[in-house]
Amino acid sequence: MSHSPNQPILLTSSLHVDDARKAIAALVDDLIQESSAINDPADIEAVALDKAIDRILAVDLLSPIDVPAADNSAMDGFAFDGKCLDTTSPTISLRIVGTAFAGKPYDGIIGSGECLKIMTGAVMPAGCDTVIPQEFTTAKDEFTIEFKQDQLKLGENRRLRGEDLQKGKPAIATGRLLRPSDLGLAASLGIPTLQVKRKLKVAILSSGDELRSLGQALDAGSIYDSNRYSLTGLLNRLNLEIIDCGIVRDDPASLKQAFIEASNKADVLISSGGVSVGEADFTKQIMQELGDVGFWKIAMRPGRPMAFGVLKPVAGKSPARKTLFFGLPGNPVAVMVTFYQFVRAALLQLNGSNQTQPPLTQAMAEAPIRKKPGRTEFQRAILGRSADGKPTVRLTGSQGAGILRSMSEANCFVILGHEQGNVAAGDWVDIALFDGLL
């Protein structure tokens, strides 16, 4: 489904998670087109390589050189011109005329019946096309090696100039979420700085009269605001600029004021709480005044109610761009699940990344899992391994949407699709790991 950001998203029936994801992606796309958020030079900055981790590359990184810069040996061994060998005899014998080291090329000529002792990474001498690894040779005398003809593979054990990267061609494409290997790759090309998208400014706030800040005393019925801390952790993992707007009381005037202030400063506003049926009514009214926001019921668990849309730019905002808005459900696990399922991808997309979806894999359920068809479930679990080496997964106890321990003890989500019914022990299920390795 798609819609323009100028049309309020009015949905009353339960929305399939895939449709919610598509609607979000379409609206983010509209926003990008409208604001030129991708191509505006003001949204690009140069950062030193050692500060570029987890940033998004804004301009193709073109290789200034061929990599490797010259043909070189992939093995410690002996280089020669395979075309000049007498391959009729079962044993080949070559005279060593010199040595090439990595960084110290040999610039003499290797004639017929001759070879050059060569180290891994050393430039191949002119005219030579093959390296025989040292372990396939025997020393006939101090200056001569021998090897069996059937060990010979013409053209092997060398790395060709430009086989990794060619001068002028993209070494890393625009939109790459930069990982350690990308920084190494840029360094291998001698490039000290990268053009990356500026960090998105993301405002967060928690709404609820029962919420108290850390350090405050808890009175009857009040609880500590944990959602801002989970959200801060999630946003820090994406290396974004966080604007903490604190706790906002559940009254129209405070909420309206907080939303105006946040949207004045931020590209994106993420709130938690206040989106379920009872409370959404007055929030809905405020949202109608401030922007186009739909109040969704999503066929998922946890994370059923969610508000999503845009807030209009407030007077004086520069540049005058809309603010993307996510009103996440208040339950602490629902916040993290909806962030993982919708917000993360939208933030990456808005900032020009082309890798918005985390990889899924599969594991075998260690025990049965109850599941009703008709909604997507995100259960918290621990990935392990069976005695015979198969990946297995077991749930982290009670799965209530308010039980943050189920997240804290888990290392993955078990994702049970919309149509899926009960899972039997031994069934394969989709999982998404919390942590990436690199």
Ligand X SMILES: Nc1nc2c(c(=O)[nH]1)N[C@H]1C(S)=C(S)[C@@H](COP(=O)(O)OP(=O)(O)OC[C@H]3O[C@@H](n4cnc5c(N)ncnc54)[C@H](O)[C@@H]3O)O[C@H]1N2
- Positions that interact with ligand MOO (CB under 6 A): 301-304, 329, 331, 334, 401
Instruction: Candidates 14-22, 268-276, 382-390, 418-426: pick the segment binding ligand X (CB under 6 A).
Output: 268-276
Least Å distance between CB 65 and ligand MOO?
Answer: 53
Asked if 223 touches ligand X (CB under 6 A), the answer is yes
Which lies closer to ligand MOO via its Cβ, residue 23 or residue 58? Answer: 23
Which lies closer to ligand MOO via its Cβ, residue 194 or residue 415? Answer: 415
The entry of ligand MOO, ligand X, none that residue 210 binds, CB within 5 to 8 Å by partner kind: ligand X
Distance CA 66, CA 53 (A): 24
Residue span 287-306 as binding mask against ligand X, x where in contact by CB under 6 A, dash where not: -----------------xx-
Write the CB contacts of 282 (distance below 8 Å, at least 6 apart in sequence): 252, 255
What is the number of other CB atoms lying within 10 angstroms of the CB of residue 407? 18
Write the CB contacts of 314 (distance below 8 Å, at least 6 apart in sequence): 260, 263, 264
Which lies closer to ligand X via its Cβ, residue 61 or residue 401? Answer: 401
Cβ proximity of 302 and 337 under 8 Å = yes
Pick the binder of ligand X from 73, 227, 271, 338 (CB under 6 A). Answer: 227
Distance CA 143, CA 114 (A): 10
115: β partners: 96
**253-262 own/partner pairs: CB under 8 Å, 24+ apart:** 255/207, 255/282, 255/283, 255/286, 256/286, 256/289, 256/290, 258/205, 258/207, 259/286, 259/290, 259/311, 260/290, 260/314, 262/203, 262/205, 262/323
| Residue (of 426, 369, 345, 421) closest to 392 by Cα position | 426
Which lies closer to ligand MOO via its Cβ, residue 14 or residue 120? Answer: 14
Q: Which helix (H) or strand (E) holds 234?
A: helix 227-237
Alpha helical stretches, state H, 273-331: 277-290
Which residues inside 327-356 make contact with ligand X, applying CB under 6 A? Answer: 329-332, 334
Instruction: Candidates 19-27, 35-43, 206-214, 340-348: pick the segment binding ligand X (CB under 6 A).
Output: 206-214
Pick the binder of ligand X from 217, 220, 277, 424 (CB under 6 A). Answer: 277
Least Å distance between CB 386 and ligand X?
Answer: 34
Pick the binder of ligand X from 68, 175, 208, 309 (CB under 6 A). Answer: 208
Least Å distance between CB 17 and ligand X?
Answer: 14
Site residues for ligand X per CB under 6 A: 206, 208, 210-211, 223, 225-227, 272-277, 279, 304-305, 329-332, 334, 401-402
